[in-house]
Structure formats: C-alpha cells, structure tokens
Amino acid sequence: MSEDCLTLNVFRPSGVSKNEKLRVLFWIYGGGFTGTLDPPAWYNATNLVTKSVERGTSILYASANYRLGPLGFPQGAEAGLQRALNLGSKDQLIGLEWIQQNIDAFGGDPKKILESNAAEASFPPEKNEVSWQSFVVSITGCASVANTSDTFDRLHNASLESIMEGFFNMADGSFGPTIDGPDGVLPGLPSRLKPKTEFPLITGSVKDEWDIIHMTTNKFNGTNPSKFTQFFTLCRWTLGSSFGTGNNTFGLNSTYKRNAAILGDIKIQGLRRLTSKQRSMEGIKIFNYLFTDPDAVPMSFLVSNNPPPSTGSLGVSLDPNDGKGSERPKWRQYSPTDQAILRLDGRDGVKMIPDNFRAEQLVFLSNDPAVFDQ
C-alpha cells in the first residue's frame, strides 16, 4: 500500500487503424471516497471495449486512481488552512488533464471524452472537525496533538501503516468532498451551482440506496432540525430498503431498513431527481436510469460479458439510440414534460418507466435542498 498511487489504465481495441481517433470513456471508480469492495474484474474494461468494436463504434477506455480516506480527503479547520481539502478530487482532475494532454498518443480523441463516475451524493458542507480529531486520536503516537494546530506536522512523520491502521480502527468517521470556497474544487452545494458548460448528462441510481452504509444525522448541516422532523413524518413506509424484501430485517434493528430508505432519498435519489429536473429545464440533454436487478450491481452489469448496447451509443455519439447493436427500447431523454427513467433489470428486462416513485418525499427535499446538503 502506498500513497504514491496516481496511475492510469488505458484500454485500446486491437485491429483498429492507428490513424483512427477514438472517442474516450474516462472512468472514475466509486467506493464512498474511502475504498471499494468491488472485485478487480469489475474494472476490467475488456468486454466493454470488445463490444464497442463488434457494434462498429470503437471506443478507448481510460481510468485513473486517486487518493482515498484521510489521505485523499483530510477534514477539519487545519486541512483548510493547509489547503489540503479535496486532494482526492484534485487527483481526479489531474488524471483527466493527463488524458486530455496525452490520449492522442494512444489513438484517442482529446476533444471527445465522456467522463463517467460511480456515484453522486450529497455531502456535508462543513469541514468535519469531529471525524478528523477522532482519526488523529486513533493513530499511534498522535493522540497528544488532537485538537491542536499540529496534527499535520505529526502525521507527516507517522508511518503509512499506522495512519491506515488508525483509519480502519475509527469508531466513526467521514471522509469525502468538502466545500472549499470560491476558488476551490467544490465552491458550493450542487443545488446552488450553475454549470459552466452544457454537456449532456447521464445520471441514475439503484433501487436500494444506502443499505450498507452507516450514516447518522450529525453528518448533515443540522441548521433546521424541524425540516428533518417533517421529512421523517412524510416517510410513512414501514418496511423500507431493501425494498421488496417483506419483513426480513437481515438480523438488523427493526428501524434499519426505514432509515436506509430515508438516507437513500436524502443522499442519492433526491439529488438525482433534483439535478435531472433542473438541468432538463435549462435545456441540457439528460438521460436517467434506475438499476433494479437483485443479482448484480451497475458496474458489473456495465462490463459484463454482455454490456448494454446503450453504453456504446452513449460513449460514441452521446445518444443512446443510434440503432446499432442489439435491439432495445428507446431511451427517452428526461424532460420537464416527460420525466421518464430507463429501468435496468436482468429478470424483467429493460424498459422506460415514470420517474415518480416516492414523489411526495422527494418533492419535499427539493423544496429546500440546502437543508439536506444537496
């Protein structure tokens, strides 16, 4: 294990003319900014690239590493003073800049790059001082500098092994993007930012969000507790997420599934729907999907032996309906008058459905998104 991890992968199809400049799919992996439980095979893009050749729309695939956890996303006031917030996000940007400057040498077209990542979620706007100090205390030899302005100096002299051991031993911690001001990587909450470009977007979610992630309300802004009370009152479902599993609580507390559903709406579903509505009203082309297959996850579905043909269409023409590859339903563009979403399910097939589930709850979130860190 090493912090010196800023490497890239490039997959170029064989048998393609050296003179042909291919559209580039640039992938940023997920994992909650702390790590990933995904098998390495999920990030092997061989099948995806092979299928693109078979359908006559060859693409070049690239992915980049970035720092995670406390190495990539230090928290607290001292991190702000040290200009060390959002290092992992800066790593991602450096990777994308490298691709922009060098992908031509691999046969890629630097003017045709589709950036793809694993998840967009709401995040706390404040620097998480509590998590940072808890992390410092958990590192051997560093507890004495907790709650001082000397944590960075001490950490610079600590071994990587002790830093990671402290991270894994934390009772509670939150490491991820933090709002870092007008000149930063993340100048504000997503709902308050206006995009500087009008690139087409593809956004989506899975049926059961936040099932395996423990999150507590103290990670939110918390400036208006009454809003949370009102939202919880609206969440009347008793079974919760994972949806469709009846009374099975999987050995967990009886309220866990309901809490997972609530947090999934706040952290993922609400932001996805809000972004889709806002961008479509601004005239930006946007496509939505909902992944409901119980036997797979979206990334494995994407790079499986038979990835969806829409993937190739989007990667080449920014339109999922190019008519090439196997037959499939038309993926309709999300619009103010047609708020539809493509459901991906290996059992029941692929089809368009209305994006209207839990409408009352998500409308409530969209009326005051900043309260919920959206």
CA distance 52 to 46: 10
Q: Which residues, 6 or more positions from 54, have their beta carbon under 8 angstroms from its beta carbon?
A: none
Mean pLDDT of 76-103: 93
* Residues 72/35, Cβ–Cβ less than 8 Å: no
Question: pTM for the complete prediction?
Answer: 0.83
HSE at residue 58, side-chain half, CA atoms within 13 A, is 16
Mean pLDDT of 47-58: 84
Residue spans of the domains in the chain: they are 1-128+174-187, 189-374
Residues 105-158 have pLDDT tens digits of: 999 999 988 887 655 555 555 667 888 888 999 898 899 998 888 899 999 889
**Residue 343: strand pairing partners:** 290, 351
Which residue in 337, 333, 102, 122 sits closest to 209, CA to CA? 122
Mean pLDDT of 60-88: 91
CA distance 7 to 283: 36
By DSSP bridging, strand 108-117 and strand 340-344 are unpaired
Residue keyed to tokens 């991890």: 5
Residues 36-46 have pLDDT tens digits of: 555 555 666 88
